[in-house]
């Protein structure tokens, strides 16, 4: 473990930290989101792309693990195009939590 | 990353309502393959009416309205700032478009005698034609595109336009948002049909995609036209819609109007005569919302159950099919509950607010070979039918510009001079975020810009706040260089964030420039509260200057072809029910409704 970095005291320390903050790069975190599009994987047809084509904001894709459709991006307009166009009624769109 | 190059005669950017008719019309006179329709989504579900629309707002149908009457009404609604020739060109052709749509299979509401069943909803004239099966509209347009033989590239987003040395249009750079491939599409004519700038303000819910407009309409066309050197106009006039609180759908008080629905304040009193929106109506709405009488509600509780069923059939099936689900989730019904209303985030849209790319009655922008139609092209109150009508007008203008000998048929090919340099510059700009996979995420950048739009641009406006906003948007241009992307999908979002930022800067600069108040709430300046016709009965236009800065200037009002007398000019300001009448109307609100509708 490296020793704690020496900074000047008081105002000078703050200025040094502020300067350092401008060049420190970015840190990332992963958050959990509740998303509106729910896919019933039993009903969803493997290889069918109808809902993915329908989405006007391109927020759906094939889940590489299950090979079924899923909502990949938290960017839903809850327009119901995917739900209406699904040939097996596998999709239910909820009103996003922030609105409902 | 793959790079493709193709050459066509006409590129239509955007496959919504305007783009569909533009492509179909152009294809009629060109060999298959020479018209290319680019769509960032998929044409079957794209544009403002991805799902459907329950009616036409502005049908000018012989026997119900004349083109001159319509031009008058729109001039009043838009506070005098209109290019009347452009509005007239629409009004004269719109009935032909209705008949064509009728032939294509669009179902309009008709009377028992078989006539179009036009409703009076506007302040003065009758222009609303219901489409009870409007959920089929997009399907019908898509089928017609396919039958016409139009070449369609779905999931390709235009990111910049290419120009020739003389300033004319030379093509489009496209990003395939699925595989990340870049395309150079060379063409002498481009028709922009990219929709409104609908992702500008942030909805009060804080949900980025909870916008009134389809969020795919991020202002792409405004930015594309600007960077190609075209003039834009009326950008200081903002789209603001009366909405259901928390839900992004319009409450559609005006749709329920003919069936007896209307807005009321918290005391249960009517306060506006006409629920059809205009800046003046939105001002009264805003005042009521923020007064001791607020909030505002849509009132349907007094209607018969079968009338409510009829209203639900229209409002819950076409424009916003999730509306019923929203109400059910809150446990509300129209019979028992008033529907709480609010105002939307701000946006730019030619239909709603007359803010868009400057076009004339031929759909021509100020850049040779570049045309614009639909929500992004400034023909005030054009809306859906105007989009489809101007799509055709633009296609005809593009065909005329191409002339007899078209490229591929012995005609002139689009210029290739300088294309590689422009493309390389665009590739570098567009793909730079991929080199910063750990950069700022696009949604955080976008949230911040749009939050600043709310904080500083949302009316009422002041110069101080607008300047503070402008400083943030200038800083956001630098921050854009910190935004990262890890996929072609994210690259699309970063490019859109750039469009949004461009629109925010335009909105701030144009708003600062017009030092008066006009269009009710849409450009309400607290520091210049009066309307000032002596100095400001002009178009405010902006463009990219030779030194690549944003310049804002006055353009003289295009001379009127239909004149209005003074009392007509101000009729949209007489929308509030006088307090005495409203108080009397409290016990008999329906009496106020009928007196308002009959005037």
- pLDDT of B46-78, one tens digit each? 999 888 888 898 999 999 999 999 999 999 989
The pLDDT of B531-548, averaged and rounded, is: 97
Condensed to tens digits (0 to 9), the pLDDT of residues B416-447 reads 889 999 999 999 999 999 999 999 999 999 99
| Interface check B438 vs A, CB under 8 A | yes
The pLDDT of B454-463, averaged and rounded, is: 98
Residue A2 pLDDT:
66
Separation CA B21–CA A23 (nearest Å): 51
Condensed to tens digits (0 to 9), the pLDDT of residues B6-39 reads 999 999 999 999 999 999 999 999 999 999 999 9
**Is the per-residue pLDDT at B209 higher than 60?**
yes
HSE toward the beta carbon, residue B305, CA cutoff 13 A: 0
Cross-chain residue pair B440–A85, CB shorter than 8 Å: no
A19 part of a folded domain = no
A65 part of a folded domain = yes
Residue B598 pLDDT:
30
Q: What is the overall mean pLDDT for chain B?
A: 92
HSE toward the beta carbon, residue B468, CA cutoff 13 A: 12
Residue B152 pLDDT:
98
Cross-chain residue pair B322–A26, CB shorter than 8 Å: no
Q: Is the peptide bond before B519 cis (omega within 30 degrees of 0)?
A: no
Q: What is the overall mean pLDDT for chain A?
A: 93
**Is the per-residue pLDDT at B189 higher than 60?**
yes
Q: Tokens representing B338? A: 């008033």
Helix (H) or strand (E) holding B130: strand B126-130
- Between A8-22, B4-18, B149-163, B340-354, the lowest mean confidence (pLDDT) is in A8-22
**For A53, which of B42, B51, B248 is closest by C-beta distance?**
B42
Q: Give CA B262 to chain center in angstroms.
A: 25
CATH of the domain at A46: 3.30.70.20
Q: Tokens representing B457? A: 């641009």
Residue B587 pLDDT:
37
**Is the per-residue pLDDT at B137 higher than 90?**
yes
A58: nearest CA in chain B?
B41
A74: nearest CA in chain B?
B209
Confidence label for B565 from pLDDT (cuts 50, 70 and 90) = confident
Domain that holds residue A68: 37-93
Count of positions (residues) in chain A: 100
* 3-class DSSP assignment, residue B342: strand
Residue B297 pLDDT:
96
Cross-chain residue pair A79–B51, CB shorter than 8 Å: yes
B479: nearest CA in chain A?
A22
Q: Is the peptide bond before B284 cis (omega within 30 degrees of 0)?
A: no
**Is the per-residue pLDDT at B345 higher than 80?**
yes
Condensed to tens digits (0 to 9), the pLDDT of residues B357-377 reads 999 999 999 999 999 999 999
Q: Which of residues 198-217 of B touch A (CB under 8 A)?
A: 205-211, 214-216
Cross-chain residue pair B439–A100, CB shorter than 8 Å: no
CA distance A75 to chain B (A): 6
Q: Residue B348 forms beta bridges with which residues?
A: B197
Domain ranges of chain B: 3-195+360-402, 242-343
Condensed to tens digits (0 to 9), the pLDDT of residues B210-263 reads 999 999 999 999 999 999 999 999 999 999 999 999 998 887 777 788 889 999
Cross-chain residue pair A75–B211, CB shorter than 8 Å: no
Cross-chain residue pair B246–A99, CB shorter than 8 Å: yes
ipTM: 0.93
Query: What is the tally of structural domains in chain A?
Result: 1
Confidence label for B313 from pLDDT (cuts 50, 70 and 90) = confident
Q: What is the 3-state secondary structure (H, E, C) of chain A?
A: CCCCCCCCCHHHHHHHHHHHHHCCCCCCCCCCCCCCEEECCCCCCCCCCHHHHHCCCCCEEECCCCCCEEECCCCCCCCCHHHHHCCCCCEEECCCCCCC
Domain boundaries B242-343, CATH class: alpha beta
Interface mutation vs chain B, best among A54, A56, A73, most B CBs within 10 Å: A56
Cross-chain residue pair B208–A75, CB shorter than 8 Å: yes
Please report residues of B whose CB lies closer than 8 A to that of A58: 40-41, 155, 177-178, 489, 492
CA distance A9 to chain B (A): 31
The pLDDT of A52-69, averaged and rounded, is: 97
More confidently predicted of B508 and B313: B508
Beta strand pairing status for B356-357 and B232-233?
antiparallel
Q: Tokens representing B413? A: 């090919």
Please report residues of B whose CB lies closer than 8 A to that of A57: 41, 209, 214-216
Residue B589 pLDDT:
37
A90 neighbors A44 (Cβ within 8 angstroms)? yes
- Between A42-56, B56-70, B153-167, the lowest mean confidence (pLDDT) is in B56-70
Condensed to tens digits (0 to 9), the pLDDT of residues B394-409 reads 999 999 999 976 666 6
**For A58, which of B177, B214, B439 is closest by C-beta distance?**
B177
Please report residues of A whose CB lies closer than 8 A to that of B177: 58
Tokens 């929709």 appear where? B195
**Is the per-residue pLDDT at B583 higher than 60?**
no
The superfamily (CATH) of domain B3-195+360-402 is FAD/NAD(P)-binding domain (3.50.50.60)
**B222 φ, ψ to 5°?**
-60, -45
**Is the per-residue pLDDT at B556 higher than 50?**
yes
B332: nearest CA in chain A?
A100
Contacts of B457 (CB under 8 A, 6+ apart): B201, B238, B346, B465, B466, B469, B504, B507, B508, B511
Separation CA B479–CA B487 (nearest Å): 20
The pLDDT of B575-597, averaged and rounded, is: 47
B589 neighbors B270 (Cβ within 8 angstroms)? yes
Cross-chain residue pair A56–B209, CB shorter than 8 Å: no
- Between B14-23, B48-57, B152-161, B587-596, the lowest mean confidence (pLDDT) is in B587-596
**Is the per-residue pLDDT at B574 higher than 80?**
no
The pLDDT of A43-69, averaged and rounded, is: 97
Cross-chain residue pair A99–B210, CB shorter than 8 Å: yes
A13 part of a folded domain = no
Contacts of B99 (CB under 8 A, 6+ apart): none
Residue A42 CA: distances (Å) to CA of A46, A67, A72: 10, 12, 19
Apex CA B544: angle with CA B540 and CA B548, to 5°?
A: 145
Apex CA B393: angle with CA B389 and CA B398, to 5°?
A: 145
**Is the per-residue pLDDT at B581 higher than 60?**
no
The pLDDT of B83-105, averaged and rounded, is: 97
A57 part of a folded domain = yes
Tokens 């804002």 appear where? B552
Condensed to tens digits (0 to 9), the pLDDT of residues A69-92 reads 999 999 999 999 999 999 999 999
The pLDDT of A21-47, averaged and rounded, is: 94
Q: What is the 3-state secondary structure (H, E, C) of B472-513?
A: HHHHHHHHHHHECCCCHHHHHHHHHHHHHHHHHHHHHHHHHH
Q: Which of residues 39-98 of A touch B (CB under 8 A)?
A: 53-58, 73-81, 84-85, 93-96, 98
Residue B414 pLDDT:
78
């Amino acid at each position: 473990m490296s020793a704690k970095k020496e900074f000047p005291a008081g105002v000078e320390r703050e200025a040094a930290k502020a300067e350092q903050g401008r060049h420190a790069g970015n840190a990332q975190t992963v958050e959990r989101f509740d998303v509106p599009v729910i896919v019933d994987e039993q009903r969803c047809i493997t290889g069918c792309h109808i809902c993915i084509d329908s989405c006007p904001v391109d927020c759906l894709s094939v889940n590489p693990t299950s090979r079924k459709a899923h909502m990949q991006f938290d960017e839903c307009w809850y327009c119901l195009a995917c739900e209406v166009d699904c040939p097996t009624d596998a999709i239910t769109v909820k009103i996003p939590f922030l609105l409902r | 990353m793959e790079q493709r190059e193709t050459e066509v005669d006409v590129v239509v950017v955007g496959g919504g309502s305007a783009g569909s008719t533009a492509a179909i019309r152009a294809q009629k006179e060109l060999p298959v393959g020479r018209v290319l329709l680019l769509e960032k989504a998929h044409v079957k579900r794209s544009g403002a009416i991805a799902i459907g629309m329950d009616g036409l707002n502005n049908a000018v149908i012989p026997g119900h309205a004349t083109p001159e009457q319509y031009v008058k009404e729109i001039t009043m609604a838009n506070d005098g700032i209109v290019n009347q020739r452009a509005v007239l060109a629409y009004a004269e052709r719109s009935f032909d478009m209705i008949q064509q749509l009728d032939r294509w299979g669009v179902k309009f509401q008709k009377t028992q005698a078989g006539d179009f069943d036009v409703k009076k909803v506007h302040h003065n004239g009758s222009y609303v034609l219901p489409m009870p099966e409007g959920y089929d509209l997009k399907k019908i347009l898509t089928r017609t595109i396919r039958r016409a033989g139009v070449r369609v590239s779905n999931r390709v987003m235009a990111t910049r336009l290419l120009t020739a040395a003389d300033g004319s249009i030379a093509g489009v750079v496209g990003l395939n948002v699925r595989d990340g491939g870049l395309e150079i599409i060379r063409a002498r004519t481009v028709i922009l049909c990219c929709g409104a700038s609908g992702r500008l303000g942030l909805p009060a819910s804080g949900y980025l995609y909870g916008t009134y407009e389809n969020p795919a309409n991020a202002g792409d066309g405004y930015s594309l036209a600007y960077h190609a050197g075209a003039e834009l106009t009326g950008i200081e006039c903002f789209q603001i819609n009366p909405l259901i609180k928390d839900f992004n759908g319009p409450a559609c008080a005006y749709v329920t109007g003919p069936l007896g629905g209307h807005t009321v304040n918290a005391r249960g009193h009517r306060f506006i005569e006409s629920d059809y929106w205009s800046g003046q109506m939105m001002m009264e709405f805003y005042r009521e919302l923020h007064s001791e009488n607020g909030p505002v509600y849509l009132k349907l509780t007094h209607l018969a159950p079968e009338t409510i069923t009829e209203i639900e059939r229209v409002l819950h099936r076409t424009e916003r099919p999730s509306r019923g689900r929203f109400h059910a989730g809150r446990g509300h019904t129209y019979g028992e509950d008033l529907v709480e209303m609010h105002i939307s985030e701000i946006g730019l849209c030619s239909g709603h607010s007359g803010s868009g790319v400057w076009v004339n009655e031929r759909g021509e922008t100020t850049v040779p070979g570049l045309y614009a139609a639909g929500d992004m092209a400034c023909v005030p109150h054009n809306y859906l039918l105007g989009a489809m009508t101007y799509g055709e007008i633009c296609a005809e203008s593009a065909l005329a510009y191409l002339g007899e000998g078209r490229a591929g048929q012995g005609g002139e090919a689009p210029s290739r001079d300088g294309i590689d340099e422009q493309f390389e510059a665009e590739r570098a700009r567009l793909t730079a975020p991929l080199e910063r996979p750990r950069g700022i995420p696009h949604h955080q950048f976008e949230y911040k810009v749009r939050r600043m739009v709310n904080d500083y641009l949302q009316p009422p406006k002041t110069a101080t706040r607008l300047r503070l906003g402008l400083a943030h948007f200038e800083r956001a241009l630098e921050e854009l260089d910190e935004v990262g992307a890890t996929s072609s999908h994210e690259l699309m979002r970063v490019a859109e964030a750039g469009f949004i930022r461009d629109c925010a800067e335009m909105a701030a600069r144009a708003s600062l420039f017009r030092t008066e108040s006009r269009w009710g709430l849409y450009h309400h300046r607290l520091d210049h509260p009066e309307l000032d016709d002596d100095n400001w009965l002009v178009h405010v236009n902006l463009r990219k200057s030779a030194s690549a800065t944003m310049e804002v200037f006055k353009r003289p009002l295009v001379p009127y072809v239909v004149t209005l007398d003074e009392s007509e000019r101000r009729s949209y300001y007489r929308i509030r029910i006088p307090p005495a009448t409203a108080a009397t109307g409290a016990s008999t609100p329906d009496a106020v409704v009928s007196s308002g509708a009959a005037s």
